[in-house]
A and B are shown apart, each in its own frame.
Chain A
Amino acid sequence: MSESSLQDVRAVNGGGSWFHRNQIAITPWLFLAPGVLFFIFYVISPIFQSFNVSLYDWDGLGEAEYIGFQNYQDLYWEFVDRDAFFVSLKNNVIWLFLYLLAIPVGLMIALFLNQNVWGIRLYKSLFFFPFVISQVVVGLVFTWFYDPTFGLLNTIIGWVGLGPINVLGDERFVTYGIIAAGLWPQTAYCMILYLTGLNAVDPEQVEAGRLDGAKGWKMLWHVIIPQLKPATFIAFVVTIIGALRSFDLISIMTQGGPFGSSRVLAFYMFEVALSEYGFRMGYGAAIAVVLFLIMLCFIAYFLWSMWKEEKGAR
């Protein structure tokens, strides 16, 4: 800052100095420099380094040995753990699809709460509550909720005479159980997006719709939802990102078990690179690259949508 202020004094006094003449062209770069350099150092260049590491056999300490695409072949042939990679990939797909439920459910809750009765503001805040809590705590809370001996879930289904279900100990249910836990805060987020969106819905269009005899579902589908498009887009972005980032809940609730059946790529990568199997950095990086490429499809789509909008704005 001191440098630019010095130059600035000169610019103000000297009038025609080089900096003064080019001030508008140079200033943005001075402002960008710290942020951009920091971001490139810690975020952008590590992405390329990961691509590079994935071509090596490396334990994180000793010499790295170049092995080409061997790590990717191992992924395919399931060298380390039978099925581990494909189970993770399959679970990632399940996460992606089921996580999207947060959007319609969030919309429904938002419609339910979009009223003007006494105390509704507090209700809205309390419904939003789960999003503010850390996923670690959400994970713990739901672990106890599902507990087969005393959990609230089994207590409730016990009332109607159904036997205890060990949700987190059963390969058939475990992934769905964790997703349900994840949907809790995610739905709250989508709800708040839609509440804000509903606030801005054009009342004249709603009235016009009512005059045309539209109500209920018809009104929702043809008049309201089109106007909620910006909120839906953001809800979609954050939900997809959230689904592919699912790590905390799995780590807290099951550690990927039972028998690795609740792993996703994000967790499997961590496991391979930093725990159980010792430090297989190269192999872990290869898994991360696969996850990154999946995400890249979505990132490309998001950027493309934003780019279209930017062009439209000018």
Chain B
Amino acid sequence: MFPRPIESTARTTQVAYKTLLPIALLMWLAPLLAVAVFSIKPDADFTTGNYWGVPSTFEGMTNYGKVFLESDMPRYLLNSVFITVPTVIGAVALSSMTGFALGIYKFRANLWIFFMFVAGNFVPFQILMVPVRDLTLDMGLYNTKTGLVLFHIAFQTGFCTLFMRNFIRALPFPLIEAARVEGVAEWRIFWFVVLPLMKPALAALSVLIFTFIWNDYFWAVVLTQGPESQPVTAGITSFNAQFRAAYHLMSAGSIVAALPPVLMFFLMQRHFIAGLTLGAVK
């Protein structure tokens, strides 16, 4: 293990390490903690200049209540859910099929198609912006959740295919050969042999795509406008315009907007990290 385990060092080093740890964490998360403190302060603290002192009263309930009851926030959150969940399902479904095809079969175009997905996944969004916006307008899907979902599914299929294909590559191939010898049809091999083995990959991808799509801002701004279809990342700007300079409410709103992926991360931590670090180890 590197660096040398702290238990095998001098007692003073151990104590120093254990005190340094929380201090480092506090510094690392300081900007976020500040916002968390802001979000439970009363309005009066900001007018009297008590920015960094102890909150004069605890107003967490009032502030968060206002976010949910007196703004479009619940609407935006719901939109985010209706954009994110179908995208996750669509992208994972499509890519488990493409990943299967590219991971199991040997044919000449295999690597080229795989590289097409990988390269497409890396392009800057701006090169797609004008045509995709135009396409969405032409299909009558501008400013709809469907329009956003369709694009997200297509784009995320690139990353998901990369992920799935590499995962399937690592599965034991003799299993598939054995099934073939038994005369099992190829689509049955996919459904009954490979798919059950892909459960960890499906879980990892689902949490990752959920986070990516929930946090998307660019496409939300390009393809939607207004509370009827905008997700929370785009909605937060109009929320902030509504409560201009009301820092306690803006902070509470930001925390609400950031929360779902955070929950997802803490609940599915193992899968999330397994997904992000796929390929980081040989």
- Give chain B residues whose Cβ lies under 8 Å from the Cβ of A230: 279-282
Docked complex Cα distance between A275 and B38 (Å): 32
What per-residue 1/0 map shows which CB atoms of B95-125 lie under 8 Å from chain A? 1011011101101001101011111101111
Complex alpha-carbon distance, A165 and B24, angstroms: 24
Pick from B21, B115, B214, B264: contact of A123, CB below 8 A: B21
- If over half of A's interface residues share one DSSP class (helix, strand or loop), that class is named, otherwise mixed; here it is helix
Is A28's CB under 8 angstroms from B101's CB? yes
Contact A273 B154 (CB under 8 A): no
A35 contacts B35, C-beta separation under 8 Å = no
> Is B250 within 8 A of A285, CB to CB?
no
Partner of B98, one of A31, A44, A130, A237: A31
What residues of chain A lie closer than 8 Å to B29, measured between beta carbons?
A: 126, 129-130
Contact with A along B170-213 (1 / 0, CB 8 A): 00000000000001011110100000000000000000000100
Taking a contact as CB atoms under 8 Å apart, the answer to whether B31 and A8 are in contact is no
Residue A173 CB within 8 A of the other chain: no
A102: Cβ under 8 A from any B Cβ = no
Interface residues on A, range: 35 or more
State whether A289 touches B127 (Cβ < 8 A). Answer: yes
Given that A32-B97, A38-B94, A130-B32 are contacting pairs, would A112 and B280 also be in contact in the complex, using a CB cutoff of 8 Å?
A: no
**B111, B155, B240: the one within 8 Å of A43 (CB):** B155
CA distance A266 to B4 in the complex (A): 44
Q: Are A135 and B247 in contact (CB under 8 A)?
A: no
Query: Chain B residues with Cβ under 8 A from A208's Cβ?
Result: none
CB pair A141 B129 closer than 8 Å: no
Residue of A nearest to B169 (CB): A313
Chain B, interface residues (CB within 8 Å), range: 35 or more
Find B153's partner among A31, A38, A141, A192 (CB 8 Å cutoff): A38
Whether A136 pairs with B257 at a CB distance below 8 angstroms is yes
A26 shortest CB reach to chain B, Å: 9
The residue on B at minimum CB distance from A210 is B4
Q: Fill in one digit per residue for A106-130: 1 if any B CB lies within 8 Å of its CB, else 0.
A: 0000011011110000010111111
Contacts of A114 in B (CB 8 A): 1-3
B134 touches A (CB below 8 Å): yes
Q: Which B residues, 247 to 282, have Cβ-Cβ distances below 8 Å to chain A?
A: 247, 250-251, 254-255, 257-258, 261-262, 264-266, 269, 273, 276-277, 279-282
> Which of B1, B6, B123 makes the CB contact (< 8 A) with A292?
B123
Q: Which residues of B contact A130 (CB under 8 A)?
A: 28-29, 32
Q: How far is the CB of A157 from chain B (nearest CB, A)?
A: 13
Encoded as 1 (CB less than 8 Å from any A CB) or 0, chain B from 198 to 233 comes to 000000000000010011011001100000000001
CB-nearest residue of chain B to A216: B3
B281:A116 contact, CB within 8 angstroms: no
CA A27 – CA B185 in complex, angstroms? 10
B81: interface (CB < 8 Å)? no
- Contact between chains at A292 and B281 (CB < 8 Å): no
Q: In the complex, A1→B250 CA distance in Å?
A: 48
Q: Which of A28, A142, A192, A219: most chain B Cβ within 10 A? A: A28
Q: Enumerate chain B residues within 8 angstroms of A132, measured Cβ to Cβ.
A: 211, 258, 261-262, 264-265
Contact between B25 and A12, CB atoms less than 8 A apart = no
Could you tell me the distance between the alpha carbons of A193 and B183 in the complex, rounded to whole angstroms? Answer: 42
Contact residues in A for B3 (Cβ distance below 8 Å): 111, 114-115
Say yes or no: is B34 at the interface (Cβ < 8 Å to chain A): yes
Q: Which of A45, A60, A115, A306 contacts B17 (CB 8 A)?
A: A115
Chain B residues within an 8 Å CB radius of A145: 30-31, 34
Q: For residue A123, which residues in chain B have a CB less than 8 angstroms away from its CB?
A: 21, 25
The digit string for A13-39, where 1 denotes a CB below 8 A from any CB of B, is 000000000011101110110111011
B38, B134, B154, B217: the one contacting A251 at CB < 8 Å is B217
> For B134, what are the chain A residues with a Cβ–Cβ distance below 8 Å?
60
Contact A28 B105 (CB under 8 A): yes
Q: A8-B187, A126-B25, A245-B124 are in contact. Are A203 and B1 (CB under 8 A)?
A: yes
Cβ contacts A to B, 21 pairs, < 8 Å: A25-B107, A29-B101, A32-B113, A38-B153, A42-B155, A46-B131, A49-B131, A111-B3, A125-B265, A129-B32, A132-B264, A133-B258, A136-B236, A140-B250, A192-B273, A196-B281, A201-B1, A230-B282, A237-B122, A241-B122, A302-B118
Chain B residues in contact with chain A, CB under 8 A?
1-7, 17-18, 21, 24-25, 28-32, 34-35, 38, 49, 51-52, 94-95, 97-98, 100-102, 104-105, 107, 110-111, 113, 115-120, 122-132, 134-135, 150-151, 153-155, 157-158, 161, 183, 185-188, 190, 211, 214-215, 217-218, 221-222, 233, 236-237, 240, 247, 250-251, 254-255, 257-258, 261-262, 264-266, 269, 273, 276-277, 279-282
